[in-house]
A and B are shown apart, each in its own frame.
Chain A
């Protein structure tokens, strides 16, 4: 018997097999180390945030209960809705783009060649660099007159826009940079997923004369769907919380064209000292993400293939 199951008298499964194994007990033993820490350090603060959303609290004076007043304020707050809209636009452009790029690259790099690992490592670098530092580099790349992006566009005869100060192009600039920064994460998860697909399946398909596309459609995609599902869900959650690069590169401007919701939440809570209102905004953000995620979990029953 292993030491890890020792703390409680776990039934010896070898004997228990056949009779009723107490699966729930075993399950809780597996779950416990994670659950304890999770309940204390993650759930605790989230519940606290939910309570704070009912308060009028400026951090330094004693808070007062205002119940749902903070939520009522949301309806008349144009900046909140503008940032929610921006965040949604950001998410629904950057996530598909990022996943497409990472899927293509994962397919490209899913080879058994020795030197391929070098490329895989190099392509992960954007994900590994510190946002503050690369955001600055991107600000340089986006400089309208002499920046590299517009110089390259100039080579093909395009007169590039004033990216970060244009109310039209600031958001695409942000999306492009974010895709660059984040695709490595999805790429590696998808690669890890591809590693788990048995080669025998492909061999069988080849014997049946399936084309590369057919093999991708009928083997790679379904077998990859659990990993893909993870990537889609977490990318959407992560994109809804985009903050750092927008703060550094555009400070939410021009106007509110790149103000993201978390940026607004941060300002409300810390700079404007309205923690209750910030928490209320987060809960609305939470509701939106939760709805989208729930919808994904419902559709996955049809689209995601698990071995059952």
Chain B
């Protein structure tokens, strides 16, 4: 064994030391230049390269419209929320931040976002009515507007046309929602070894559409107590859980993490899937024919979850007029056209909605639902200021029901008192916010 002498190693270590000094020097040189205080900045989550391209186009449009330099801070969606929190705490936030609709009460309820009502009222050229009504409600909290939307859509029913044709079963009506009973029978007709009728996530995010369609909800309208045990909600939970446990029409649950049922649907052996139109882009990769139909109508109608996202101005933003100008450009028809044309999701403005175009052939259903042109409708995602906590609690307790590890009763008994505590906390949050604002 010929190995070098220790002497050598010391010299090499010295060399690495020198390298370290070199690196440090490089690091000094690598300090990014301070941002010009006049530069416009906005933050957005962005995952795929295609998405980044859309936001880059947005930014180019912003610079062109306002004639100033603008920086888009794009962060992968998995870390966006944490990064935004850190930026807000440390005062390094952008002038405008993208906010997921269901987080508006979370941020607004803690005083992190600025109400926009005065800006909207004082600005005659801003047409707030062009935005779909649901997104205006989603981006407001406690009777004030905190965000301007850029996308909004209801959950729909995707179906595998190829599989329907192979089984000789008529495809769902493009505009009229089938009833739950019809849906259950239809799904059951597909079930045979390694083939399934329907898939959705065993989660509250998917379960909520069944709750709304049965006339139920997680909590009452005043958000003071939980209503999961109310008969309407109970009916929805029993029905949805039944799809998984009694004569199951769903594929087996492999893990509790991929809450989206996309993977199962892409397998090609599942007839129908519950999901949002934001998945159209991914489902286009499927190697079978498919389309969308309205979500099945329960006792209260076809009322799946309606959700969307918006831009908001952090309370800490100093140059509010400029932020407002930036915000208007980011949510303008032209900008939303860019977004919709890329197929990301249905745009929040009615005037931009034609840009969200087929395939699939029936994609126009989304806008018809939003505009109230068909009977099938949707229900705004009702959330609280501590919805993360509510979601985490339900994500912890709900899936076990689908796995048959506990009964619906056990589940309800276990979450009810804890949900009530969370609702009391929520009430307290809102009260504190009102107090701090002198209302």
Interface residue ranges, A against B (CB under 8 Å)? 58-61, 79, 112, 139, 142-145, 147, 162, 164-165, 167, 248-256, 259, 267, 270-273
Contacts and interface: CB of A to CB of B under 8 A. Distances in A.
Interface size class of B (residues with CB under 8 A): 20 to 34
Interface string B238-256: 0000000000000011111
B82 interface: yes
A254 B255 contact: no
Contact of A253 (B106, B315, B388, B399): B399
Contacts of B400: 167, 253-255
Contacts of A267: 388, 392
Contacts of B112: 59-60
A79 B1 CA distance: 57
Contact of A139 (B1, B257, B388, B395): B257
A271 B82 CA distance: 8
Given A255-B400, A272-B392, 17 more contacts: A59-B88, A60-B88, A60-B107, A60-B315, A79-B396, A147-B254, A164-B255, A164-B256, A165-B253, A165-B255, A165-B256, A165-B399, A250-B255, A251-B257, A256-B396, A271-B392, A272-B389
A139 B255 contact: yes
Contacts of B106: 273
A60 B111 contact: yes
Contact of B388 (A142, A162, A271): A271
Contact of A250 (B88, B256, B392, B403): B256
Interface in B391-415: 392, 395-397, 399-400, 403, 405
A273 B256 contact: no
A254 B404 CA distance: 11
The 4 A-B pairs at the shortest CB distance, nearest first, are namely: A271-B388, A60-B112, A60-B110, A164-B255
A61 B256 contact: no
Q: Most A CB atoms within 10 A — which of B85, B107, B257?
A: B257
Contacts of A58: 110
A55 to B, nearest CB: 13
Given A251-B395, A254-B403, A165 B388 contact: no
Nearest to B17: A4
A145 B432 CA distance: 51
Interface of B: 1, 81-82, 85, 88-89, 106-107, 110-112, 252-257, 315, 386, 388-389, 392, 395-397, 399-400, 403, 405, 432, 436
A273 B255 contact: no
Nearest to A135: B257
A4 B1 CA distance: 35
Nearest to A267: B392
A167 B256 CA distance: 12
Contacts of B1: 112
Contacts of B254: 139, 142-144, 147, 162, 164-165
A164 B254 CA distance: 7
Contacts of B436: 61
Contacts of A250: 255-257
Contact of A59 (B110, B315, B388): B110
24 contacts: A59-B89, A60-B110, A79-B396, A112-B1, A142-B255, A143-B255, A147-B254, A164-B254, A165-B254, A165-B256, A248-B257, A251-B257, A252-B396, A253-B395, A253-B399, A254-B399, A255-B397, A256-B396, A259-B396, A271-B81, A271-B389, A272-B386, A272-B389, A273-B106
A216 to B, nearest CB: 22
A79 B253 CA distance: 24
B85 A270 contact: yes
Contacts of B388: 267, 271-273
Q: Most B CB atoms within 10 A — which of A112, A256, A270, A273?
A: A273
Nearest to A140: B254
Contacts of A145: 252
B85 A59 contact: yes
B257 A249 contact: yes
A31 to B, nearest CB: 18
Contact of A273 (B110, B392, B396, B432): B110
Contacts of A142: 254-255
A253 B107 contact: no
A139 B399 CA distance: 17
A251 B1 CA distance: 50
Contacts of A164: 254-256
Contacts of A273: 106, 110, 386, 388
Contacts of B110: 58-61, 273
Nearest to B316: A60
Contacts of B107: 60
A254 B256 contact: yes
A294 B111 CA distance: 43
B95 to A, nearest CB: 17
A159 to B, nearest CB: 14
Nearest to A255: B400
Contacts of A271: 81, 388-389, 392
Contacts of A253: 256, 395-396, 399-400
Q: Most B CB atoms within 10 A — which of A60, A147, A167, A267?
A: A60
Nearest to B203: A251
Contacts of B403: 165, 254
B252 A144 contact: yes
Contacts of A248: 257
Contacts of B253: 162, 165
A271 B252 CA distance: 30
Nearest to B258: A139
B430 to A, nearest CB: 13
A255 B396 contact: yes
Nearest to B315: A60
Contact of B255 (A79, A249, A255): A249
A272 to B, nearest CB: 5
B106 to A, nearest CB: 7
Given A59-B110, A60-B107, A254 B405 contact: yes
Contacts of B85: 59, 270
Contacts of B315: 60
